[in-house]
Structure formats: structure tokens, C-alpha cells
Amino acid sequence: IEAHFGKGPLSGRHLLVTSGPTHEPIDPVRVIANRSSGRQGHAIAQAAAGAGAKVTLVSGPVALPDPQGVQVVKVETAREMLAAVEAALPADAAVFAAAVADWRVAEEASQKIKKGAAGLPTLSFVENPDILATISRAAGRRPRLVVGFAAETSDVVANAAAKRMAKGCDWILANDVSAAAGVFGGEANTIHMISEAGVETWPRMDKAEAARQLIDRIAKQLGPVAP
């Protein structure tokens, strides 16, 4: 499917969206991954296309159809996701909804690790690049508006506000991923939007509606395209 410029409040804009988990290989058959269905990120890409934007969706492995009218780039690892994001710039706005694995295994085994052969395996880890922080600080090619997500299990707003400062993004959409909140794989979400202006808690709504709310705010923030 070809990416397109449609009519709507984001007509003439390029939006970049990350979605889904990343998979970091341990050996040819095993991975380290995060829980993420990709539903929120895919819904944001779909809503942006619906608002007339040209959309690039960089997605880790998900069991979802490609949103229509969106350029989809499929990746596995955090490093591949960063490379695909960099290749998709410039963008007017970027939304980082992916659940990126924070660590990868230091040395991927080239052969399947066999059970029992040498006792229990020991994995050592190295940190993955932080895609949101990298792009937020990318002088010269930083999108005008950079939006991150924060998955928290406690002190949701405080942790997310600290993340916004640490990463240098404009907005953070925080949600509670404790078991009680039931966000993962689910349809609905309570989002706290944190910006320079403060915290705005949205009513609980489904992910498609949350995506439209975010896209409305992005369109307002970017303003009309210069003729």
C-alpha cells in the first residue's frame, strides 16, 4: 500500500510512529521481548493517516494487520528500530509508542543453546540505544514535536514526568501497566498526558479514541501547513 497525503488537519505533514515490542535474539530460536500488542501505536498511525498525514510506522513483531494508507517498516530489534527511525526522518512529529527492550544479550549464540549440555545458561546483557532520547536530542533533524509513552506500574505521573525531562521529549503519554489496570493486550487505557503545561488525565477510553485524541492535539500543536 502506498503512503499518501490525504485531506485533513495533518495534510502535508509527515508523522513517524513506532509500535509493538522489539525482539532481541538469545540464539536462533529464543528472544528477549516486552509485552506489547502494538494496538496503541498502530491505532495512532491509522488515526494520523485518517487526518491526512503521510505516515511512517516502524513496527516490531505484532499480530496485527498493517494500517491502511501507512508506510510500514518491519523490524525485530531495538537497533533495527533506531536505524529505521533515522532513515524515515525528517518528520514533523514523532510518536514513540513501541515497547523497546531495554537490554539485549551481549553475545547472541549462533547455534541453538542445548538444554542440559553445559548446565543452566547464563546470559549477560548490554543496554540498547534509547530511540526516544536519541531522536529528542538529534540537533538539526529533531521533529518539531516528539511524543513518548511511559509504561509504569507505580507512581505513574511522577515517574513519567521525570522521564519527560530525562529524555528531552515534548509530551509523555503515561499509562498504568500494573496488573490491576489491564492495559496490555486490552482495548482501553487511562492516559495521563504530561507536557510543559502540566498533567491532563484523559477519561478511560479505547485505544482508537485515545489515538484520535492525540492526533487532534498534534494537529493543533503543529498548526496549519504554510502555503
Interface residues with ligand CTP (CB under 6 A) are 18, 78, 96, 98, 100, 102, 128, 130-132, 148-151, 163
131 contacts which partner out of ligand CTP, Ca ion, none, CB within 5 to 8 A by kind? ligand CTP
- Known binder of ligand: residue 27? no
Quick one: what does residue 88 bind among ligand CTP, Ca ion, none, with the CB cut-off 5 to 8 Å set by partner type?
none
Residue 102 marked as a ligand binder:
yes
Shortest reach from residue 42's CB to ligand CTP, in Å: 14
b vs e for 157-175, b when ≥16 Cβ sit within 10 Å of the residue's Cβ?
bebbbebbeebbbbbbbbb
Nearest approach, Cβ of 38 to Ca ion (angstroms)? 16
Tell how strand 93-96 and strand 145-152 pair up: parallel
CA distance 155 to 173: 14
Cα–Cα dist 168/163, whole Å? 8
- Tally Cβ neighbours within 10 Å of residue 71: 20
Question: Any known ligand binding at 114?
Answer: no
Instruction: Confirm or reject binding of residue 159 to Ca ion (CB under 5 A).
Output: no
Known binder of ligand: residue 163? Answer: yes
One residue of 27, 102, 108, 206 binding Ca ion per CB under 5 A? 102
- In the annotation, is 34 catalytic? yes
Between helix 39-50 and helix 207-222 the angle, nearest 10°, is: 50
Determine, following the binding rule CB under 5 A, whether residue 216 of this chain makes contact with Ca ion.
no
DSSP class of residue 180?
G
Question: Does 34 help bind Ca ion (rule: CB under 5 A)?
Answer: no
Q: Which of 34, 128, 159, 189 is catalytic?
A: 34
187-206 in b/e form (b: 16+ CB < 10 A) is eebbbbbbbeeeeeebeebe
At its nearest, how many Å lie between ligand CTP and the CB of residue 102?
A: 5
Backbone φ and ψ for 96, nearest 5 degrees, come out as -100, 90
Q: Is 130 annotated as a binding residue?
A: yes
Shortest distance (Å) from residue 74 CB to Ca ion: 21
- Grouping H, G, I as helix, E, B as strand and the rest as coil, residue 116 is coil
- Annotated binding residues: 102, 112, 129-132, 149, 163, 167
- Annotated binding residues for CTP: 102, 112, 129-132, 149, 163, 167
Active site residues: 34
Which residues contribute to the site for Ca ion (CB under 5 A)? 102
